[in-house]
Structure 1
Amino acid sequence: GKTLMPGLVDMHGHLDTCYYASAGLLPQQQASRYAALSFGVTTNYDPYTSELPTYTASEMTLAGDMTGPRNIAVGSVIYGRKRKYDPVFIPIDSYEDAKVIMDRKLSLGGTVIKSYRQIQRQQRQMLNKAGREKGIMVDVEGESHFFNGITAILDGNMNLQHNVPVETLYDDFIQLMAASDVAHTPTLIVLFGELMGENYLFTSSRLWNDPRVETYVQTTTSSYSPLAVPVGAPPYVRGMTGLQAAEEIWDIGFRAAARSMKELNDAGALVNAGSHGQVYGLAMHWELQLLAEGGMSNLDVLKAGTINGAKTLGLEEQIGSLRVGKLADIIVLDENPLTDIRNTESVSMTMVNGRLYDSYSMNEVGNYDRPRMPFYWEENDVPNHIQWKPAWGHH
């Protein structure tokens, strides 16, 4: 009575904060990674992290010393403008500068960079050329700028992050994208140009009732709220600041963008699902639901959340589908998502690299009996000022 499917490949999952650069190492038991696994995300691609902490966490996960999804990240982004509040501005005045960037990423063990807000198109082109020479993939930020998105496709980046800020795409864009080798991760949950899809889902679900959210999601990425919510607010706080909008507003917003994604998919373009880390773990399922609202079939939505991302990362021979010889990233669902896409949320067991976890307790089961260690806030001697759970009972 269960359904097996490949582990989800989140192609825009901010599990780490971008601003750990001066904070040292990440915690060895990181709640956001447990949240992602508990909801069946077995590979997480993070297109904006920090440098050494993130690469350290990736290696510790590979070595089995940290629990979490396969962690593929860009480290610090390659940012093209001064006065950013984190130290990511790297001037590219010549092609030699672009090559130095790639050499540094290689020395850290990186496989991909993110090109972000370069002032001139030629700077993005130099990054692409240097990346091809050095074997580093170049992802690109959409920046909510239509013409930057067009030139990013023309210049051959590996993937365009975020939708272009035109929800209804015309046939010229569809043909261009489909004819290119550039994948697209639209993040309808954090939509450019119209009200974000997460607003629709925050007002149409009670996410705090999910025990996995309660246990592993202390905070959401809340600064995208239309109201001035603290950046790291608990899910119920973010849920109290939703937007009420007429159905026609949602229809010209995320649903129009989702219909465009269906057209892109039907034309042969590679469309990926990415959660933006809005609600760790759960947001990946929200993104799948938002894609389905545009008419994409449930099977194609599942592909957007699995094999399409694997292809974008060049890992389709290792992850993204169930086949003999691939890595053992498998999730067990209590309900069938082919009948209702919302059934992807019914993850009850997650296997990553052959290690099987109960999705609710996150105890390792199967070949081993390894109970999850308590998080620091679950210890009895934690000061009351960081106990957020008592507030759950007041809804």
Structure 2
Amino acid sequence: MKIFFLTSIALAFSITISSQTYITNVTITDVENQKLIPNQTVVITNDLISDIQSSKNIKVPENAIAIDGTGKYLAPGLTDAHMHFSQNGGLYTRPDAINLQEFVPYGDEITTSKTTMENKLRRYLKNGITTVFDVGSPLYYLEKSKTFEDKYFAPTIYMTGPLSTTYKPEIYKDFPDDSPFALTQTIEEGIKSVQDQLPYKPDFIKIWYIVGADGLSVEESARKNLPIVKAIIDEAHKNNLKIAVHATQRITAQLAVENGADFLVHSVDDEILKPGFVQLMKKNKVVLCPTLIVSSGYANTFGQNLNFSPYDLKTANPFQLGTLLDLKHLSDTLLVNRYKAMGNSNERLEGLRREDSISRVNLKILLDAGVTIATGTDAGNLGTLHVSSYQAELKAMQASGMSNWQILVASTINGAKILNKENQFGSIAIGKKANLILLDENPIQNLENLTKINKVINKGVVFDPKDLVQDTPEILVQRQLNGYNFRNIEAFLEPYAEDVELYGFPDTLLGKGKEAMRQNYSQMFENTPNLHCELVNRIVQGNTVIDQERVQRGDKFIDATVIYTIENEKIKKVYFVRKQE
């Protein structure tokens, strides 16, 4: 895989840096008062909002940068309050969930995580996410995050190191320096897990409160490990660090909150919450990040029931998204069939439906009680792809009964409240960070309008979103391959030029134009059973990509070589090479 980034020279031409920027005649999305304020001018000086007035009261100086916001909506930059840099979202990212190291060694996956950290950040910013919380990764990422603090293309990062836990999956013991977990089986080890992070200056500490792995009941296990959990919480607070806790059972969540947890990073999914616990969360000002979609990512991948929208297929890292269909062609059919059967079993599906229903009911209960809700995806987990999963999470929150205003509040200023930074960012106000998104359409009318981004302003710098991540030839070819495999005609055609030409190698014209392709491939997608293209090998040379493919159509397999040539960031010509007899 090849990942390309903008050079520093190119970046200089793609962003606007000015001591003062004026966004004129814009409608402000006021998340603090939940109202739209039209005809405003917002002044940005360096990295702060320095003035907000009615446009008729402000004159733009000649030497300032002016952005016409007429007909547009200015919203605070979004926050993903739960993601992981050390996980990529693809099939091979969690070997403790499915071990496929005979195909992709976990060491290779670690290398991919480390080398694509900048690419992840660029993708987040391109899609209006100006703040991210990594709620658990190895120390490498915590240390590396500091190098992005002064980078305009990078969202603001808040993060912790390895998760303190009384249970560590066996497979990570082979990767001591790259494990996302710190095993804490005694009070002393719990305290040490906090102290070991302090030299790296984490923004908070996280506990992975896993119960039942010791053979005890959920409550017995939770209470047995509580002294260690409490010691970690106390040590973190002693060092002025807040505590996030992974607790999906009512008993673990309640014990965590009773003992000082500040931030619950998942919904409780085993019981409907009782009023006493709800009021305790509100009293203690505990923030909840519900992460409603992450479990379905695993289940749908294992059961081979994934269904991505054109937005997902265009926005996600295409290489990681493509791996999610590898179960269709991996040679270990016994393993694949076992996971497929598990993912589609009635017991598993019913359990997921029950957990999902309880999670959504509990979210509405907490929301109505006034508990602070912050949007987060748990991106990086298998099937929960970085950036693109954000819209799916918003839709799940909406289905739980949250209004569009409530969701926008959860996605902006409530993220800032996790670390008591709501006076620094999260809303459009004088003195706050100029982390903003300029939208072409009203986000309150439709949350999908959050994807219709005209400009991103990060740390006071104005970006055109398309300049943040380059569509390389390889990315374009991978996106069309993903669209093909998901039988999504819009996503398949998106990387192609309108006047694309298809040839039988070397020069026999087979067809021309995207609309002709639409007709032919739509019929194929609708009528061909077991349609799947496995990428066997790929060569990238300049604007040419050569793919060696193995295509399944029904019960037949076809070996093919396809040559793609790219012009102006679109696939312009395709050559199909016949296999020699």
Q: TM-score scaled by structure 1?
A: 0.77
Distance in structure 1 (CA, Å) of the matches to 2:136 and 2:322: 14
Question: Match for residue 232 of structure 2?
Answer: 127
Q: Rate the CA distance shift 1:361–1:62 in 2: closer, same or farther, 3 A.
A: same
Question: Match for residue 3 of structure 1?
Answer: 73
Question: Match for residue 246 of structure 2?
Answer: 141
Structure 1 residues 11-41: Cα deviation after superposition (integer angstroms, max 9, x where no partner): 1122432878974993377322222112111
The answer on 1:300 being equivalent to 2:392 is no
Distance in structure 2 (CA, Å) of the matches to 1:331 and 1:270: 23
Supply the AA of the counterpart residue of 2:158. I
1:289, CA displacement in angstroms? Answer: 1.6
The answer on 1:181 being equivalent to 2:285 is yes
Question: Match for residue 111 of structure 1?
Answer: 203
Q: Rate the CA distance shift 1:316–1:221 in 2: closer, same or farther, 3 A.
A: farther
1:309, CA displacement in angstroms? Answer: 1.3
SS across alignment from 2:205: strand
Question: Match for residue 272 of structure 1?
Answer: 374
1:129, CA displacement in angstroms? Answer: 0.6
1:377, CA displacement in angstroms? Answer: 6.3
Structure 1 residues 217-251: Cα deviation after superposition (integer angstroms, max 9, x where no partner): 4314977x9x95799xxxxxxxxx998x9xx9998
Larger relative contact order, structure 1 or 2 (CA cutoff 8 Å, min sep 6): 1
1:26/1:57 contact within 8 Å kept:
no
Q: What does 1:1-395 align with in structure 2 at a 5 Å threshold?
A: 1-17=71-87, 23=111, 26-27=114-115, 30-52=118-140, 54-64=141-151, 67-86=153-172, 87=176, 88-94=181-187, 96-117=188-209, 120-142=225-247, 144-166=248-270, 168-191=272-295, 203=307, 205-208=309-312, 210=314, 212-213=315-316, 216-220=317-321, 254=356, 257-277=359-379, 278-362=384-468, 380=541, 384=546
Q: Rate the CA distance shift 1:16–1:167 in 2: closer, same or farther, 3 A.
A: same
Distance in structure 2 (CA, Å) of the matches to 1:24 and 1:249: 33
Structure 1 residues 139-189: Cα deviation after superposition (integer angstroms, max 9, x where no partner): 1112x3331122112112111121112374443443333233221111011
Distance in structure 2 (CA, Å) of the matches to 1:91 and 1:29: 28
Question: Match for residue 237 of structure 1?
Answer: none
SS across alignment from 1:348: strand
SS across alignment from 1:275: coil
Query: What do you get for the CA RMSD once the two structures are aligned?
Result: 4.2
1:222/1:229 contact within 8 Å kept:
no
1:84, CA displacement in angstroms? Answer: 3.4
Q: Rate the CA distance shift 1:209–1:47 in 2: closer, same or farther, 3 A.
A: closer
1:2, CA displacement in angstroms? Answer: 1.4
Mean Cα deviation higher: 259-268 or 164-173:
164-173
Structure 1 residues 356-387: Cα deviation after superposition (integer angstroms, max 9, x where no partner): 22223327xxxxxxxx6969868635985699
Supply the AA of the counterpart residue of 1:3. Y
Q: Rate the CA distance shift 1:314–1:77 in 2: closer, same or farther, 3 A.
A: same
1:217/1:280 contact within 8 Å kept:
no
Structure 1 residues 52-103: Cα deviation after superposition (integer angstroms, max 9, x where no partner): 2x12331121132x83221222122112225532233433523x54443333
Q: Rate the CA distance shift 1:163–1:195 in 2: closer, same or farther, 3 A.
A: farther
Distance in structure 2 (CA, Å) of the matches to 1:55 and 1:222: 27
2:204/2:241 contact within 8 Å kept:
yes
1:112, CA displacement in angstroms? Answer: 1.3
1:32/1:217 contact within 8 Å kept:
no
Q: Rate the CA distance shift 1:25–1:116 in 2: closer, same or farther, 3 A.
A: closer
Structure 1 unaligned segments of length 5 or more: list them.
232-240, 364-371
1:217/1:279 contact within 8 Å kept:
no
2:270/2:355 contact within 8 Å kept:
no
Structure 1 residues 326-378: Cα deviation after superposition (integer angstroms, max 9, x where no partner): 11110122221211222222223222211222223327xxxxxxxx6969868
SS across alignment from 1:127: helix
Q: Rate the CA distance shift 1:249–1:91 in 2: closer, same or farther, 3 A.
A: closer
Supply the AA of the counterpart residue of 2:80. D
Mean Cα deviation higher: 160-169 or 373-382:
373-382
Structure 1 residues 247-273: Cα deviation after superposition (integer angstroms, max 9, x where no partner): x99986646533432321221111111
Q: Rate the CA distance shift 1:130–1:221 in 2: closer, same or farther, 3 A.
A: farther
Supply the AA of the counterpart residue of 1:48. G
1:15/1:33 contact within 8 Å kept:
no
1:29/1:67 contact within 8 Å kept:
no
SS across alignment from 2:144: helix
Q: Rate the CA distance shift 1:163–1:29 in 2: closer, same or farther, 3 A.
A: closer
Mean Cα deviation higher: 121-130 or 286-295:
286-295
Distance in structure 1 (CA, Å) of the matches to 2:323 and 2:205: 26
1:105, CA displacement in angstroms? Answer: 1.4
Supply the AA of the counterpart residue of 1:218. F
Structure 2 unaligned segments of length 5 or more: list them.
1-70, 88-92, 94-105, 211-223, 331-339, 477-539, 550-561, 565-569, 575-581
Q: Rate the CA distance shift 1:93–1:170 in 2: closer, same or farther, 3 A.
A: closer
2:268/2:362 contact within 8 Å kept:
no
Supply the AA of the counterpart residue of 1:33. L
Q: TM-score scaled by structure 2?
A: 0.54
Identity %: 23
1:258/1:292 contact within 8 Å kept:
no
Q: Rate the CA distance shift 1:82–1:293 in 2: closer, same or farther, 3 A.
A: closer
Q: Rate the CA distance shift 1:305–1:380 in 2: closer, same or farther, 3 A.
A: same
SS across alignment from 1:44: strand
Q: Rate the CA distance shift 1:204–1:168 in 2: closer, same or farther, 3 A.
A: farther
Q: Rate the CA distance shift 1:229–1:151 in 2: closer, same or farther, 3 A.
A: farther
Distance in structure 2 (CA, Å) of the matches to 1:229 and 1:121: 43
Distance in structure 2 (CA, Å) of the matches to 1:22 and 1:281: 19
1:13/1:44 contact within 8 Å kept:
yes
